[in-house]
Chains A and B, each alone.
Chain A
């Protein structure tokens, strides 16, 4: 592994959100979301369908621009920064679902990421490492990424970030649709790069697994933070939201 960016913010926060609001066109999706990610820490972002988890992930990495509030990453105010600049500061985002260029080959997908993140000289070595870590990608390096299975595509997007570790990795619904064995590998990979200093924001709908991994948990409900604190309390918070919903639903009938 190349040297990960650990030391710069030892003890401090590598990422912080203050009262962040966001919207898709006229539709508001986030309301005053605030939380912090300590350097080298793991934050779990959980909540039900449509709670705004993915929107938080997208706002952090610049895909969706916050309408108000402030996002600070590695000491830079990135609130209105375009996504590619945030990425160059050391942010990586594994998007929900398919996150590869389907009309490029597997190798071209990796090349695109590695050339930008680690430079041309390290390209060959990085490709080699990716193929060692994920042999299936090596076998299919000349295939269009669109022809890979869903799980293989997820491995490809993971390989892009695991080989050249960023300061912060935002992983959106990594386990969705993956076989349990593969999920184990994926989580082992996450632990591995975290040990090397990468801070993680892990977005998950399956609560139990991510809460084992994380050191801090944020529960979202309808675009706002419903709970923030130790992972142990998050499970209860999610349960509470769910039972509220059920009550509301049954009282309508």
Chain B
């Protein structure tokens, strides 16, 4: 028994850390209506600044705490509310998710851009209350040092304070009211914007506090640690149905204890140790999503005054006058022809490979268009689908001597099968639930299959060999074989996606975005549509994954981890999620910008700057849910139409005088 406590107790500080974050996540959700994926990133930012000030600039712990937690935390929260979340209508759950995801992707990449690459040592962070190196007393054979005492006492204080705030104060009541409907709560005389801003300030202060307090518990100071912290906290928060603070805290502590206990009892060489222990939080998320019915109804908007928000504008292509439409279509074909000819003739090898990469990426991104743009559901594991296919093709080539191109088809098929399984598991999930489920799937693959050396050959990945492709033409970048392959696969995928969009399935999906109940009432099988679109999107992501692999001549697990899945969504959303062009513009744009950034000094962050650009581009989603490129396109279309076709001015275009609401 003493053995057990010896294993279990060391889990408590971890569990308490998870608990602080879990409780804050629930608070943020209850008080702002946003599931803040970026919480861990905010915590990381504060801890980063705190450590930077104390270690590199010799500040005292107190002064650094003031700046990094008391000032910076609330300021960040205030900015989030003012610049972002305030502008998102209550009913638009996807926009809220996308914004918090892009912050999760953007903030850790932004820090090296601002502060330069820093080497920081988290263990030097001070604990304000108890000395981590002093053993205060021994409990059932386990020495209890300052880390135990501080994490436990801070968790207890936070839990009590936040519960009191939410349940027993007028402010908490107003916050909960404002989450449901900012408009309705105003009718009761409550300054809804002020209350929600205050909620963000409190929540971000909590993030800063958590970051600074928790950094030493984890030793190493990496954004990944904080992401892992958030994931575990998400698991606990989901178990509490995003509602009960004590349950969230309790589950978080349990996960911490279970992890160290399992680690203690299992031999480090066993499969369970290497697979189940890291996957524990994801298993908890999946379990909660599958078995707790309350999670399914979570994201449905209940704002009775949602109809006041104006309907979304039509796409640029839909709003164009027929004459303008012809001109635009013709110029697209001309542009494509010029691009095609240029790629085969004068474009230098470096740039040819940039465009090839861009097209390969576009294929992966098309799968996002399909699932997020058309089905209106957020899938955060498209990178995983691509990775599954890439590694399948590589391993089939390696072990069976199968041609990589043929293997790619098998890979895409396997990715589709995995997608179908995932779709079956998440049939009843929508919005946040589905996003969490797919995120859990991505993380599960990262920590199991993608980290298995037999599959991915470790972090270096599998290098491609020319015999696998049956020809060395793909390794010879002057030969244009890769370009021809890439553009034909992309063309086929675009054709398929367009076909689906115009066909019955596409129309059903569009109707489902409007009202699932109404569609079900028409006798349409919703589940079948969803499974089909998941399968197709998995297959397209898989094809794209194989293309990227051939282009890079390497299948590396670090190209397909969950972060890239998030980046993919953010990329597409930045340009336009509802159109096929959006995916292509995002893919090629990403490749081109990445190449351009190699020309500027690496002091400015290098590749992470690309992610920062797109992540913060995605924040425009708050103002323009149709995508910023799409928005500009619609504006310029209207402008040119005015310029060229003045005679058409009388027709009802964007600004109509009809359609008074009730």
Q: Do A and B interact with each other, yes or no?
A: yes
Q: Which residues of A contact B193 (CB under 8 A)?
A: 82
B302 in contact with A29 (CB, 8 Å):
no
A8-47 interface with B by 8 A CB criterion: 24-30
**0 or 1 for each of B309-329: is its CB under 8 Å from A? (1 = yes):** 111010000000000000000
Q: Which residues of A contact B187 (CB under 8 A)?
A: 61, 63, 83-84, 87, 92-93, 95
A63 in contact with B308 (CB, 8 Å):
yes
> B135 on the interface (CB 8 Å rule)?
no
Q: Which residues of B contact A55 (CB under 8 A)?
A: 660-662
Q: Which residues of A contact B170 (CB under 8 A)?
A: 111, 115, 120
Looking at B174-182, B334-342, B373-381, B613-621, the stretch in contact with chain A turns out to be B174-182
- How many residues on the A side are at the interface (Cβ–Cβ under 8 A)? 48
> A167 on the interface (CB 8 Å rule)?
no
Looking at B96-104, B458-466, B562-570, B651-659, the stretch in contact with chain A turns out to be B651-659
A27 to B310, CA, bound (A): 8
> A102 on the interface (CB 8 Å rule)?
yes
Q: Which residues of B contact A29 (CB under 8 A)?
A: 659-661
CB distance from A89 to the nearest CB of B (A): 9
Q: Which residues of A contact B190 (CB under 8 A)?
A: 84, 112, 116
B662 in contact with A84 (CB, 8 Å):
no
CB distance from A101 to the nearest CB of B (A): 5
Known A-B contacts A26-B310, A87-B188; the reply to A103 vs B180 at CB < 8 A is yes
State the main secondary structure of chain B at its contact with A. loop
Q: Which residues of A contact B186 (CB under 8 A)?
A: 62-63, 82-84, 87
Q: Of B180, B308, B659, which one neighbours A101 at CB under 8 angstroms? A: B180
> A226 on the interface (CB 8 Å rule)?
no
> A223 on the interface (CB 8 Å rule)?
yes
Q: Of A50, A97, A101, which one neighbours B661 at CB under 8 angstroms? A: A50
CB distance from A9 to the nearest CB of B (A): 20
Q: Which residues of A contact B191 (CB under 8 A)?
A: 82, 84
Q: What is the number of contacts between chain A and chain B, taking CB atoms within 8 Å? A: 122
Known A-B contacts A49-B662, A63-B186, A84-B186; the reply to A95 vs B192 at CB < 8 A is no
Q: Which residues of B contact A115 (CB under 8 A)?
A: 170, 173
Q: Which residues of B contact A222 (CB under 8 A)?
A: 660
CB distance from A66 to the nearest CB of B (A): 14
CB distance from A174 to the nearest CB of B (A): 15
A99 in contact with B176 (CB, 8 Å):
no
B662 in contact with A54 (CB, 8 Å):
yes
Q: Nearest CB to that of A117 among chain B residues?
A: B189
> B184 on the interface (CB 8 Å rule)?
yes
B662 in contact with A112 (CB, 8 Å):
no
List, sorted by A's number, 5 A–B pairs whose CB atoms are closer than 8 Å: A62-B186, A87-B188, A87-B189, A100-B304, A101-B185
Give residues in A with beta carbon < 8 Å to B: 24-30, 49-55, 58, 61-64, 82-84, 87-88, 92-93, 95-104, 108, 111-113, 115-117, 120, 146, 160, 222-223
Other A-B contacts than A29-B659, A52-B661, A160-B188, 11 sampled, CB-CB below 8 A, are A28-B656, A82-B191, A83-B186, A87-B188, A99-B304, A100-B304, A101-B177, A101-B180, A112-B188, A117-B189, A222-B660
